[in-house]
Chain A
């Protein structure tokens, strides 16, 4: 066997073939050194399991004392009581409240309840009541390290939890952070971390703030009843906000500005002011969210805000579904926008979004309203069942509408009013209660390659000095005139087929003017043309 030093109990004959080189001797075996090592191990092991109790039946009366003597990896059990302490965690350890969380309270005086200075630590099942020493101070300060915070109840006269610095990476699970006088959780200065299954509510400032390049994950949280926003992402903050329920906050559920660029996925945002606001060069990707019953617009985009919004349901809002204003941009794809009190999509003040493959329907006003020099591209959308025109363009609004279906509206398909511009091409406009397209008040759009049919109030109505260029359109089976020109309306209608209507192909009255050229007018029930005396529409190269 191996050469056993001082092996007093060895009574067997010496097995010399087991005697090896000095490097393979067991030097501790049966020696006093092994005994001392074992004693030390036991002593250290006991310092890894410490109980704190104010009743005196633990190892220490205060948690601070326990932390001081605790060794790396120690677990400190805290029994019920009110501990007026500010804890500094400067080594890896665990602090576990034993009993009901409401009965294990740490109260700080003019400082944080917990300041995290270790690389890693875990704090569970405690009530933390912070009394901030200065404006920004939090009940839990995490300037670095991975602090696990589980099942804690956190309130504060300052922030709830403050995370700052690139090494800060806490994990908060099943915590309640509420009634703080500032922010619930504040991620700053390139920090990160995970907030999971937490309830963040009734904070005087925003529930969660992410700024200065921070990038946390906020998952499956309920963020509600805040006096400001649910989540703010600002100053190049990022982060993932996923599966959260964000509601009844006094300002937007999520507010993004100044280069903030989060990924927001599968969240519910409801019963707040706005659902989400992206402004002042804010960005972000918003996917698969349900945004509903908000007092203001479901999504608001302004001042070079430029988000990507995909597969969201935006509905039953008290105002617009999406508002794009003051040079806001963004891309809205595959969304379902319906049942909103104001227009489903409202583009104004040089707003210029891209709205693509959306369903915009059953709104209490228009599907899309483009006004006050608003622009944008609306393509491949299905716009139907709205109370006002499917699309309204007014006041120098100038959108490009392409490959859309605009139908079954309770008014016009598209209405151009008050100096409206814009282009509509390759779209189907049908089954609307009024004229498929109405152009009035000096509006001057271009309509081309469209099919305009089955309108209850005719195909196209140009009135009140409306103009416009209508080319290569197929206008058919309308219940009234294919094209009606009234009250000094003066469009250019070219290369169109105007057919199978239940009244005239072209009906001009009340000093209507303009030009109809190289069109085919056929099978209209009352005839191809009606030109009221005093009207002056010119006809050139048409085939009846």
Chain B
């Protein structure tokens, strides 16, 4: 039986290897986690834009007219503190709706659903794996990674794969991505990265759970479920609001007329 001589591995290097393996596993988890979170946010963003276009704009219009009606009513009863409070509250609500929807009209028409392709997801995964800010070794590098990652997120949500590829290319040509280190320094850096990644994974989980219980997400679920039964819930909500807008407009016109008469 032949005797093999197994070369001894220095303790630092063995530790480095173990940690590197752990890091690799965590990096995979991290990129997948980031991808899923970014996808969820992309879906919510697309849904919200769609909602605002179909319903939000009408809601803002209704809030505005309702505020005007209540303000008109409060003018009829300047002593009525409840009416004044109602008008004030309605005005606040109208303002909030207007702010939320004001920018929607100027946005280009977007997709109704966010449905990233397999290639797009793969590209994003690669970027997250290489550029994630939690992999930075110093503040300067972190700043660069943060910038690029933000850009990558935007490109991902727009489905802009070409831009994602440009970011990747840019990173690969960045000298900071090719830094050399000795074993000890590498081990320290890997341990630091592992800690950062674990923190980030925990944060991703928290954020995902928060999204899932949010009212916006619940609204999306309700709309999706209605669609499964052949009902376009957003269109129906819009129709409902249109009726209300018409009613409040009429009411406002009546009040304006009454107010004018009372001034004569």
Contacts and interface: CB of A to CB of B under 8 A. Distances in A.
Interface in B51-104: 51-52, 55-56, 59, 93, 96-97, 100, 103
Contacts of A30: 214-216
A41 B153 contact: no
Contact of B48 (A10, A28, A32): A28
A75 to B, nearest CB: 9
A150 to B, nearest CB: 16
Contact of B146 (A17, A41, A48): A17
Interface in B207-254: 207, 210, 214-216, 218-219, 222-223, 226, 230-233, 235-237, 239-241
B33 interface: no
Given A44-B233, A48-B236, A72-B236, A32 B154 contact: no
B157 interface: yes
Nearest to A10: B210
Contacts of B239: 71-72
Given A1-B207, A40-B237, A33 B154 contact: no
Contact of B52 (A21, A27, A35, A71): A27
B210 A9 contact: yes
B45 A26 contact: yes
A2 to B, nearest CB: 5
Contacts of A11: 206
A17 B37 CA distance: 14
Nearest to B110: A23
Contact of A41 (B52, B147, B237): B237
Given A28-B48, A33-B96, A37-B59, A45 B150 contact: no
Contacts of B215: 28, 30, 34-35, 37-38
A28 B223 CA distance: 16
A380 to B, nearest CB: 55
Given A17-B146, A24-B45, A37 B51 contact: yes
B54 to A, nearest CB: 11
Contacts of A64: none
Contact of A37 (B55, B133, B203): B55
A20 interface: yes
Contacts of A47: 240
A17 B96 contact: no
A30 B48 CA distance: 12
A38 B41 contact: no
A38 B218 contact: yes
A135 interface: no
A21 B160 CA distance: 15
A94 B237 CA distance: 18
B125 interface: no
B233 A32 contact: no
A509 B22 CA distance: 124
A40 B59 contact: yes
Contact of B222 (A2, A20, A41, A73): A41
Given A26-B44, A36-B59, A19 B96 contact: no
B107 interface: yes
Interface centre among A17, A22, A35 (most CB of B within 10 A): A17
Given A18-B150, A45-B222, A24 B157 contact: yes
B222 A28 contact: no
B149 interface: yes
Given A21-B154, A41-B223, A26 B41 contact: yes
A73 B154 contact: no
Given A1-B207, A29-B214, A34-B216, A71 B236 contact: yes
Contacts, number: 117
A134 interface: no
Contacts of A71: 236, 239-240
A73 B226 CA distance: 10
Given A1-B41, A28-B51, A28-B100, A34 B214 contact: yes
Nearest to A74: B236
Given A17-B149, A23-B107, A41-B219, A2 B45 contact: yes
Contacts of B233: 41, 44-45
A26 B56 CA distance: 13
Interface string B133-171: 100000000000111011001100100000000000000
Contacts of A538: none
Interface string B95-123: 01100100100010000000000000000
Contacts of B41: 1-2, 26
B231 A73 contact: yes
B235 A72 contact: yes
Contacts of A41: 219, 222-223, 233, 237
A22 B100 CA distance: 11
Given A12-B206, A19-B150, A34-B215, A29 B44 contact: yes
Contact of A17 (B150, B219, B241): B150
Contact of A73 (B52, B56, B107, B230): B230
Contacts of B219: 34, 37-38, 41
A71 B241 CA distance: 11
A12 B146 contact: no
Interface in B152-200: 153-154, 157
Given A2-B45, A12-B207, A27-B48, A20 B146 contact: no
Contacts of A73: 230-232, 236
B247 to A, nearest CB: 13
A2 B41 CA distance: 8
A16 interface: yes
Contacts of A72: 235-236, 239
B203 A42 contact: no
A210 to B, nearest CB: 31
B59 to A, nearest CB: 7
Given A28-B100, A45-B222, A72-B236, 12 more contacts: A16-B146, A18-B149, A22-B103, A24-B157, A26-B48, A28-B56, A28-B216, A29-B48, A32-B93, A35-B215, A44-B236, A71-B236
25 contacts: A9-B210, A13-B203, A17-B145, A17-B147, A17-B153, A26-B45, A28-B48, A28-B52, A28-B215, A28-B216, A29-B44, A31-B96, A33-B59, A33-B96, A34-B216, A37-B51, A37-B59, A40-B55, A40-B237, A44-B236, A44-B240, A45-B222, A45-B233, A48-B231, A71-B240
Interface of A: 1-2, 9-13, 15-24, 26-38, 40-42, 44-45, 47-48, 71-73
The 4 closest A-B CB pairs, nearest first, are A17-B146, A34-B215, A17-B149, A12-B203
